[in-house]
Chains A and B, each alone.
Chain A
Amino acid sequence: MTMPPESGPGFLKREAVPVVVFALLALLPFVAVLGAESYLLSLVTRVMIFAIAALSLDLILGYGALVSFGHAAFLGLGGYAVGILSAHGQTDALVQLPVALAVSALFALVTGALSLRTKGVYFIMITLAFGQMAFFLAVSLAAYGGDDGMTLSGRSRLFGLDLFKNDRAFYYAVLLALLGAYGLCRSIVVSRFGRVIRGARENPQRMAAIGFPLFRYQLVGYVIAGTLCGLAGFLLANQAEFVSPAYMTWQRSGELIVMVVLGGLGTLHGAIIGAAAFLLLEEWLSGFTEHWKMIFGPFLVLVVLFARGGLMGAIRRLGGGGHG
């Protein structure tokens, strides 16, 4: 049995990908002074926000094999918590953030408890339907912009200070949130709890036969993932200073799945890379043609048919990095 030590050169080698990713993200604002700073900053901020959402999805999809197709609902819930509170004059993040998280957790608890009673395609379709329900709820909120969404009066304040107004400060706040979310997920997947979730992915019957009532573990996992994604929604609303039902279309849920799979399921840093790959690809392709989806759609089909394990899998294969 080989158990690599926690520190030393082994650590750097094993953790090379996340270390490089976070180092690049931390340095970017300094490099980006050349010209297109604000464009690049806002693009990468967006990437990091979606990375949090993808990370949260990877927790249940990659580690728990729960194909949730309504995850974008939590982006919307987090976003609307910010929007609705600030419309009523409550702009402090110390109020907005807990509300955003609590609303997301509650929605996850209720819909998760119903969805997890089912399996397989039923689970996929039911999470999809609940996501759609949240979408229609937002559309019907005429007082808060309905279909068109609502513009915020500004970003959240902290202790009444307008800290996040500065794009660079906001960038680092988002980076911190991403780092925190990543650390939390890393901790969870190797913890006792995470081991139960991973075991359920491999063989649910075996897990039940050694005494784990899986429903409650999966439900807690679902709530954690939903809450984390609510955090992403909170940040997204702040970045755009705008919320709309478009946050929670089912296509958006599909895109989150694409990000996770593109980066490689069940790797966590893969979710970050996948979010970056997806958004940058979208940015790049739509620079060529407004019909970028005609390129991206078939690309997706080809990835599924020929490149199992996503981009991280491809990188690992190219590097000849043994057996994953």
Chain B
Amino acid sequence: MARVKMQILVCGGSGCYGNNSEALIDNLKLELEANALENDVHVIRSGCFGLCSLGPIVKIIPGDVIYTKVTPEDAKEIVTEQIMKNRKVERLLYKDPVTKKSVATETEMTLHKKQLRIVLRNCGIIDPENIEDAIAHDAYEALAKVLTEMKPLDVIKIIKDSGLRGRGGGGFPSGLKWEIAYKNKSEEKYVVCNADEGDPGAFMDRSVLEGDPHAVLEAMVICGYSIEAHKGLIYIRAEYPLAVARLKTAIGQAREYGLLGKNIMGSGFDFDIEIRYGAGAFVCGEETALIHSMEGLRGEPTVKPPFPAESGFRGKPTNVNNVETFACISPIILKGAEWFASIGSEKSKGTKVFALAGKINNVGLIEVPMGTTLREVIYEIGGGIMHGKKFKAAQTGGPSGGCLTEKHLDIPIDFDNLIAAGSMMGSGGLIIMDEDNCMVSVAKFFLEFTVEESCGKCSPCRIGNKRLYELLEHITKGKGTLADLDRLKNMSLVIKDTSLCGLGQSSPNPVLSTLDNFREEYVAHVTAKKCPAGKCKDLMEYFIISANCVGCTACARVCPVGAITGERKEPHLINPAICIKCGSCMGKCKFDAIIIQ
């Protein structure tokens, strides 16, 4: 390998890819060639850095300088200034959302300081399409150790001792899961990687697969060795084309290098991996539904027991883990169970990746030790709430989770604390809401998702969720009563209590947790028929403050339905019976005379 003086890493994750990072890479290469620098400086398409809302992201090594929102046209300036003259391109530097000051390097970013990257250890560092780059960053070293020095039960013991719990949502101890699959003897067993990440706003697994696919492949082989399986299947949604492409490349390279297939590393152990595509049904993240989908059947769950470890894919013992769980395996093998167990909280070990979304400054992907507080995540890593607004709630666990409020800001986030707070870890979606969010609408939004995504197999989920949604809609239209709130709660509890799978058992969580934490908002909707956040259209009324109105007639002229009347130079009036609440008048008024009540 030629000696390279500098590296320019360009994020090739889906977000940055979508923002033209490929063209940026091309331009950077052309600029380097134009200046005869192509041998000294390499451009590498890397995985996700986590700063997704600011993409495309460019990182210069050495120096760890981070540039944000880089366009293909910026390539010339980066090469001529940063590379050739070692002068930073000030306008592309990351700006701290709180101090508003430019931050030159990754290590100086508050965003970075509280993070600990185990799962994402190689994301944004290696070229995901180059296995040698991965191997240079310790990929397959753990596998070598396992195959040469350890017996299946040794591996299972380490995983058990590490305290690793499944990152897919339930938090079931992974070592125990492996052990059960190991104990169910069969000629034919399967290792399944659940890459059917379906929570709205969640993209942890996708980023791992796009940025460091070998981390998952290696862990699957280790799992196969431990449970004595020889076949691995990755169930990935077809909507993740980039992840699929990189997985395929990685699988091909791993086979070429003897890290997959027959007689891996000459150890005599055979293991190969195939990709199966999901059609994008949320319920297929549930392991029995996932397995049925892989078998070519309708993607719907069946009652457990039997658990997949007993009777899974094709009726054979099957171990299902999600991407993030697998990504934890190699570091645990290499650094030991004690190391992993030393990170995190008492019953939740290691780190957790969260996809930060919503009204937060740093939208993107972060990885923090379990037990980090919500306050640290939002205000230190996330850079606080957008536009300096007030924090209202954070939805964890996706549509099946619940919301945490101000009183939960200082509880350490882990599996058990979230459940105690009426939410759940889920796969790691974290959606931040501010004072402008109507919590009834938030519950309705999440429920709309689960209504759409229910498979329809069991009645409480199929019909009950629809009825919950309809009742919420009724309330947001100002037609609800106080008795409806009790009914909401009763229905929610019954749906949770009677549904067949995790989807229905958790789908009413957003309703229950908003009802618990923001009951006054619900009450305002049903008694005063007002939406305190001013979001529910049917409960809003546009109103002209006579004192401010100068009678310019601008509002009346823009009103599409003729709801505004008034003489020139006289205060105008809005007829609420005609008004369609489009908001056009408010946008036109130069005198702040129109308000929403």
A interacts with B: no
